[in-house]
Structure 1
């Protein structure tokens, strides 16, 4: 079998991975989607309680919609906002079902390389197919071959730690029972009990932190003693709460306003310029200690929402061109680097910005952003449309931009953030609240996952 007859392997059966498969099918190219979990959209299902700030019309890929049409699938109202659970149940699972045996569940990718070539060897490298090593749920191993590899595995499984230096704070691991790295589902009685009437530190300054603050503020209305301590590594400025009413995604702007209301209404205290160095135990509570020696009053729980980072370990034998700061493709990094670019908006991009020295391998979706924030599902759909066109040899379509992204309403002359390293604490994705009203029993907000 020639290399061109081999399938394109897609890693991850999330929104972007499944969309990649749909675009490849539309181009007459055989995909094989490898998903480590036992269901499609596994990461999305973990935040099923949260409502996206993007509407149904913005989170359904056009090629996927065409693939679903013959199955009798009915697209939800495009003007409404799905929860993560809705997105998985009403779109991602039907799409995986429509792809059939092109999606393999319980297949964990443990390594990707060139056949017979480690990363050192130059000879005939580009002529060799890719080898993809997988481990099945039963522990058995297999080696697959592919003409190209699209890594859409995301970053959900690798949240960033508390430490201001990017490493776990001293004592962070030991205090793990009282530390969470996810937006809590306060509709779950056991989770609600964990935070009701308690003092909770929320660390981070992006969509996830806004969501947690809004949830805890709502809980405080019915559970006296519930209070949040919002820990920021920087100060509060004009862009802290997002674009507000200037955001062209209204629900995204509403989320920041809800977080601001939590502070203004006294349900949360903001602590600024606090880079956590250590987590100490004080009886049954925890004390956060900053690099400058400041110590916060004891808290009962800590919610760490400092962003995500890509797992590149299984790509170690490939020649990737990644930015040294963001761990994103070098051509894409300047467009998304919060230390450089002055607006929250990221413009559409495709195969040109996502290519690597290793031809035929692409990082897409949230993983393509490395440690940068503010990824939209629409962005990922445009990425895989362009890549599928390039793999099919349609360079004109690959280079064409077929998407206009909404403006965030956040802009500033000196950059989106006031100082370096803030990207780590802003790691939201496409998800946030559906309306200004945010409550445990009402349409709400979300973190990442897109």
Structure 2
């Protein structure tokens, strides 16, 4: 890297919890960041699930460097023992942090492409000496570009939920039936959303934290609207680990979430259908939806479908970069074996940093939930450790970059449904149990006071 490139900012994609923490860590290291946020405010994805409570307390979702940056503004850290909702997290911490960063954060800036200046993906000559070129659309769709010394992609996976289809593709008829299908945990405190599900029969597809939350929410609704009922569709069977770690989970609110879902089934508010992989979505003569499995089974009609089968990274705008990604998880190749949800829980995935997050393309990093690809096992504090290490590396402090400064809580169960702070645990690859909504943390139903 030449001197002129060294003077350029580090571009951070996404003003969510990990992107803003990355910016705070860079400022701490006297490196100038520029955060490009697609939404009109900080933490736009978090605001989409503002009604969901995190299962990590305030003490675990505030980055230390961010807290230092906020201190001169008069910011007061919330009670560390309490559990914020997504809305609390955005309004009481993430937006103030973005405000403290000031003009280092640009809103309504959607990144459309990242490359090396003057070098497409093929060209080798002097590649690493060239700065990064970032194309983005600004307010009103205006095309803009900027150069950077490094790129930290913290854009998350929230915008690309996985489909209902058991093959990883949308089920036949899924797109046509989109008026009756949602890919988010419903906010049943919203009158319009509540009216949509009240008194209806709703299928919930998924076996992770988001599905647990939706089932618990619908069970609460059924107590007031007795004709409300849920059909819980799992691609696997039900075992002792299906509902997570329970009382053995070192994140108590996360354990309570699985128990709330179990209570919904035990209380008769939801019926479970196991071993069902959706192949088609059809409509009956009344316009209701009929789910058809790969084995030919046809379920009774439902009024609504909530698909919570996980999230996946959008890699399209990084296509001109030389990324080293695992073929299964779409996570960095050095990180993938450590987060394989078929093998690891929070207690067995050790904290990681720049060494595991590096790519063949020097100085580009995927962090936060996006670094985990399709693995559903992510905690906010894992992301904070990632960006601490990367900022140290970019500052030339390799000793600090390789030092581990985080101990993760254990889940108490391995091989069961993925539970995480992020509000959309994967269904198919749900063996892990770490996480946080987006980075997030997803929690027990607000009405239960769990998270």
Q: What TM-score do the two structures reach when normalised by structure 2?
A: 0.94
Aligned counterparts, 1:256-405, within 5 A: 256-282=258-284, 283-341=286-344, 345-405=348-408
- C-alpha deviations, 1:16-58, integer Å up to 9, x for none? 0000000000000000000011100000001111110000000
**Could you tell me which of 411, 430, 433 is aligned with 2:436?**
430
Q: Is the 8 A contact 2:158 2:311 kept in 1?
A: yes
User: Bigger shift: 339-348 or 233-242?
Assistant: 339-348
Contact 2:344–2:414 (CA<8 Å) still a contact in 1?
A: no
Distance change (3 Å), C-alpha of 1:40 and 1:428: farther
SS at match of 1:221: helix
1:426 shift after superposition: 8.5
Shift of 1:339: 2.9
* Number of residue-to-residue matches in the alignment: 438
- Output the aligned Cα RMSD: 1.9
Paired residue secondary structure (1:166): coil
Residue of 204, 217, 221 corresponding to 1:202: 204
Does structure 1 residue 50 correspond to structure 2 residue 56? no
Deviation at 1:442, TM superposition (A): 4.5
Q: Equivalents in 2 of 1:170, 1:429: separation in Å?
A: 31
CA distance in structure 2 between the partners assigned to 1:40 and 1:434 by the alignment:
21
Q: Secondary structure of 1:404's partner?
A: coil
Is structure 2 residue 238 aligned with structure 1 residue 236?
A: yes
Secondary structure of 1:109 counterpart: strand
Distance in 1 (CA, whole Å) between partners of 2:50 and 2:417 is: 30
Deviation per residue, 1:280-327 (Å, 9 max, x gap): 001221000000000110000000000000000000000000000010
**CA distance in structure 2 between the aligned counterparts of 1:319 and 1:199, rounded to whole angstroms:** 47
- Distance in 2 of aligned mates of 1:116 and 1:177: 45
Cα distance in 2 for partners of 1:165, 1:207 equals: 21
CA 274–425 in structure 1, closer or farther in 2 if over 3 Å, else same: farther
1:423 is paired with a residue whose SS is coil
Q: Is the 8 A contact 1:208 1:305 kept in 2?
A: yes
Q: Closer, same or farther in 2 for the Cα pair 1:139/1:427, shift >3 Å?
A: farther
TM-score, structure 1 as length reference: 0.94
Aligned residue number for residue 104 of structure 1: 106
- Alpha-carbon offset, residue 411 of structure 1: 2.2
Aligned counterparts of 2:112 and 2:450: Cα–Cα separation in 1: 36
In the TM superposition, what is the alpha-carbon distance from 1:443 to its structure 2 partner? 3.0
Consecutive unaligned residues of structure 2, counting only runs of 5 or more, are 419-425
> Residues 421, 176 of structure 1: CA spacing in aligned structure 2 closer, same or farther, 3 A cutoff?
closer
Structure 1 residue 345: Cα displacement: 4.7
